[in-house]
Amino acid sequence: MSFAEASWPDYAGLLGSQLLDHGTVFTVWSPSAVAVTLRLFSTSDPKDGPSATVALERAQDGAWQHRSAERLAGTYYDYLLTFPASAVSNVPSDAIINAAEGTVTIRTADPWAKASGVNGERSMVVDLDSTNPDGWLSDRSPDIPASQTVIWETHVGDFSNDPHGGFPKGHRGKFLAFTDAHTTLDNQPGGFPTGIAYLKRLGVTHVQIMPFYDYGSVDEATGGPYNWGYDPVAYDVPEGSYSTDPYDGAVRIRECKAMIAALHRAGIRVIMDVVYNHMYENDNEFERMAPGYFCRRDDAGGFANGSGCGNDMASERPMFSRFIVDSLVYWAREYHVDGFRFDLMGLLDTQTLNRARKELDKLPGGESILMYGEPWSADKTNAEPSFTLADKQGRKLLDARIGWFCDESRDSIKGNVMLERKPGYVNGQPSEFAELVRHAFNGWRGTEAQGKQVGQIIQYVSAHDDLTLWDKLCLTMRDDPAHADYDATGDVQDILAANAIAAGLVLTSAGLPFMLSGEEFTRTKYGCDNSFDRSAELNWLDWGRASRLSSLIEWYRTLIAVRKAHPDFYDGRRIALDSPEGVIAAQVGDDLAVCANPTTNGVTVELPQNTADATRHWAVIADSTDVAAGSADGRAQVADGTELSVPARTFVVVALQ
């Protein structure tokens, strides 16, 4: 049954399992079902059979419901749904077909569940209050203004899988690694800080964590193989492979909350990477619950595939639109999540996203919750034509506090990500890209790429997708890719200098700066541009490398501190200063100026005269020459009050002091 052919009622009541003071209510929405059976289990182990089965009763508006007088906290469950055969165009391989009666019976977990057992095979009734770690009710998100925001992207496993990271063995690759507050490289007393201690020293304000809802590509029972997790199974349930006991549905919830609380104690807010545009399989729990409704179809009746993952979820349809909004509010309220990054946001409709913004704003402190995403898709989808998708054409309809990743900034600074040998401004073609980078530095104000406000622009040069910044620079700054020094052990001063300039541009540009974890210590994946299912070792943060490349880390620390101290970098006006070809120089606000010189020659830039206060003078407050000793001739300096000398391959920030 297709969406267009069916009359789908909208159900406004609560869905999933609800634990009450004196009982439990199970409710699902399955308008085309002719029978629904609830199966109860004492464990999440798929080998254990049901302890009881109960027929649900048909309720209003396509819902089915069962009310139990027992409080069934900790009980696992799934459903058997029977449909007319004509209602199921995509019959799962494990379905029971009754040709005589013309029906198909399908098993599924609860897509509205808040807890589940191992691998999401069974949902679980949960007492959420019992999952709160110590101190949870007093947990508060740190207060961080937009002008001080610096986002650092990581993966739960990448953060702590390195055996040299100093994390307890049982915490490596788990939520609990974030609760280890004083780790050092190889557990050396007073040694190089790793984990949370490292983040506090670096100074980032937000950690964007790659998917940590329940996903399907990792076997929770074994913890492998490695995967990024962009394959949702249960949106409102934490991933079990990140917990110390994937069989107990409450443990993953408690440990996920503990991770978030630990980051908050460190003064860091948490952004959740969410993937509402597709799911792990075509016959996912939503499709099994209401065949033909939740997934978009193409004109031939097959699954629309704008995600490149086999199925596009229909955000524009009322019941899934409502689910997305409810899910976001749930994570913000129950888990104290501080922001959401939307994977392939160009497949989601602007109306749903704007409604989510309004609902999040209603929460205590909700207006500080960040929302931003990728304003593109992998291919064309087939959304209902009356809805506008949040791609580059539709993003102008987004609320002013929903942002997007600016690939125009990324590609102009380091080169097009689709052409791995194509350089950008910092790595070989400064003259060609200088004008575009000036626009990027100004938050694209006055161009087609601008937002309603500058905070909508996510400025970045690396994320988990595509080559790391270091790998891109290595491939574009050597004539032969075979000579790419991914390990940064040879003569790489020029590449370090380019990395430093890229960081300088991102961390002083208008908008919100973002970086891939490890960018600040030349993170490499040895030329792999899509490591989603490669080894844990290729993906993990190499804490020994971080210790070795500490000079670059210090440069990032300096830039972050400077940005935090000067709000004008976020949204202050930029006035271009005269500079040689390929060099970018600009005054920022009244008291700041920057100069990016990726060329091989030293230059001089005339700074504005300070006529307002003769006691204040221009002084260098950040200078990248220390990052790559020997790559620049001397240091940046100000002479005669306004003449700024900038060595080759250098980024400089000056301020009136």
Q: What is the distance between the alpha carbons of residues 406 and 397, in angstroms, rounded to a whole number?
A: 17
DSSP codes of every residue in 141-186:
-----GGG--EEEE-HHHHH--TTS---GGGTTSGGGGG-TT-BGG
**Exposed (0-12), middle (13-18) or buried (19+): which is 94, by Cβ within 10 Å?**
exposed
Give bridge partners of residue 137 from the DSSP assignment: none
Q: What is the distance between the alpha carbons of residues 391 and 374, in angstroms, rounded to a whole number?
A: 8
Encoded amino acid at 505, one letter:
L
Q: Please calculate the CA angle 293-295-301 and round it to the nearest 5 degrees.
A: 90
**And the tokens for 241?**
């492979």
Q: What is the DSSP letter of 369?
A: -
Work out whether the CA dihedral 421, 427, 429, 432 comes out positive or negative.
positive
The angle, 0 to 180 degrees and rounded to 10, between the axes of the packed helices 493-508 and 430-441 is 30
Residue 367's CB is within 10 A of a number of other CB atoms, namely: 11
Torsion of CA 526, 527, 530, 533, to 10 degrees: -30
DSSP codes of every residue in 629-643:
TTSSSS--EEETTTE
Is the backbone peptide bond immediately before 647 cis, with ω within 30 degrees of 0? no
How far are the Cα atoms of 15, 16, 49, 250 from residue 41, in angstroms, in the given order?
A: 20, 16, 7, 15
Encoded amino acid at 368, one letter:
S
3-state secondary structure of 214: strand
Are 249 and 164 spatial neighbours (Cβ–Cβ below 8 Å)?
no
Q: What stretches of 75-137 adopt beta strand conformation (E)?
A: 76-84, 96-98, 103-108, 123-124
Q: What is the distance between the alpha carbons of residues 194 and 471, in angstroms, rounded to a whole number?
A: 23
φ, ψ of residue 66 in degrees (nearest 5)? -135, 135
Q: What is the distance between the alpha carbons of residues 448 and 446, in angstroms, rounded to a whole number?
A: 7
Buried b (16+ CB within 10 A) or exposed e, 557-584: bbbbebbbebebbbbbebeebebbebbb
Q: Any idea which residues carry the catalytic annotation?
A: 343, 374
In the block, residue with structure tokens 């939740």 = 294
